[in-house]
Chains A and B, each alone.
Chain A
Amino acid sequence: MNIIMNTRKLNMRGEKMHAKDALESIRIYQFCAIELNLYLDNFPDDKNARDDYNKVSCTLTNLIHEYEKNYGPLTNFGSAHVENPRAWVEQPWPWENC
């Protein structure tokens, strides 16, 4: 809770930068997960790829959880770790230049 309060106290620019960095990490792990997922569709028994997929998916889950706690939901229909209907509509949309 303290972490959230402190983040909220940051000025707009500080908060935006922080959210941007957090989102960038999520994007990187999300991409690894996509790539491993497609590979594992064809080779579901590949031990190395399965281990990597588990690791990547675990880190991705934690990063998303942390982001959603601080800035608002990344997914809809009840699938966010932390629901926040106001942040869902007020946080900028992906096509909006920032």
Chain B
Amino acid sequence: MWYYVKTLEYPVNLKCKDLNMAKYLITQYGGPDGELGAALRYLDQRFTMPTGKAKGLLTDIGTEEMAHVEMIATMVYQLMENATIEELKKAGLAGHYADHRKAIFYTDATGNPWTATYIQAKGDVIADLHEDLAAEQKARATYENLIHLTDEPQIKEILKFLREREVVHYQRFGECLEHVQDVMCIKK
């Protein structure tokens, strides 16, 4: 069971119209290292975690990732909100308009739709946690790429918050891996 909370985890109030950034940012919504994949990966893997701590951590990080999905969608929505068709065409978003008008959709920066092949659940806690650690680093790197692509301080600030969250999640997954390995050693 989940409850919705009617506020963002971190405020997003972008008044600027920046279609190029909207186009790049969408990859953190539905791209290979994006937030949707992260949320679905952790909320899926948690079922076969061997300890209560690991189940708890994947549930809670997976839930926080859903809040990040909403933040990215909000950024893209606000950056595109007041765009004219001419502006969308100029930014290379005519294809997006044809399929989705101004709706937000799960794609990467070049329009490829999200696919479950971005994620894995191996049923092996060591393999799964290593995937999770890698996922956090890939998301962290993507946020850095996005930060390089904009000069807008407001956009940078939000991306820096999200980047920091990936670092914290990486830390927590690392601690979880150690804990699981300790438990496995004791069992032997």
| Residue A2, interface by CB 8 Å | no
* Bitwise interface map of B from 5 to 48 toward A, beta carbon under 8 Å scored 1, else 0: 11111111111000000000000000000000000000000000
Please judge, given known A-B contacts A41-B53, A94-B74, whether A77 and B3 are in contact too, CB under 8 Å. Answer: yes
Please judge, given known A-B contacts A39-B172, A41-B53, A97-B15, whether A27 and B64 are in contact too, CB under 8 Å. Answer: no
Q: Contacts of B57 on A, CB cut-off 8 Å?
A: 38, 41-42
| Residue A48, interface by CB 8 Å | no
Q: Are B3 and A94 in contact (CB under 8 A)?
A: no
Q: How far is the CA of A15 from the CA of B77 in the complex (A)?
A: 25
Contact of A94 among B7, B60, B64, B168 (CB under 8 A): B7
* Bitwise interface map of B from 142 to 186 toward A, beta carbon under 8 Å scored 1, else 0: 000000000000000000000000001100100110010000000
Contact of B176 among A27, A42, A88 (CB under 8 A): A42
Q: Contacts of B77 on A, CB cut-off 8 Å?
A: 95
Q: Contacts of B87 on A, CB cut-off 8 Å?
A: none
Q: How far is the CA of A95 from the CA of B70 in the complex (A)?
A: 8
Q: Contacts of A79 on B, CB cut-off 8 Å?
A: 3
Contact of B6 among A34, A39, A74 (CB under 8 A): A74
Q: Contacts of B53 on A, CB cut-off 8 Å?
A: 41-42, 44
| Residue B94, interface by CB 8 Å | no
| Residue A23, interface by CB 8 Å | yes
Question: Chain B interface: which size bin?
Answer: 20 to 34
Q: How far is the CB of A94 from chain B (nearest CB, A)?
A: 5
Q: How far is the CB of A71 from chain B (nearest CB, A)?
A: 10
Q: Contacts of B179 on A, CB cut-off 8 Å?
A: 42
| Residue B119, interface by CB 8 Å | no
Q: How far is the CB of B146 from chain A (nearest CB, A)?
A: 19
Please judge, given known A-B contacts A95-B73, A97-B13, A97-B81, whether A38 and B7 are in contact too, CB under 8 Å. Answer: no
Q: How far is the CB of A73 from chain B (nearest CB, A)?
A: 7
List residues of B whose CB falls within 8 A of some A CB.
3-15, 53, 56-57, 60-61, 64, 70, 73-74, 77-78, 81, 168-169, 172, 175-176, 179
List residues of A whose CB falls within 8 A of some B CB.
23-24, 26-27, 30-31, 34-35, 37-39, 41-44, 73-77, 79, 88, 91, 93-95, 97-98
Name 12 interchain pairs, CB-CB below 8 A, sorted by A.
A30-B9, A34-B60, A34-B64, A37-B60, A38-B64, A39-B172, A41-B53, A41-B56, A42-B172, A74-B5, A95-B77, A97-B81
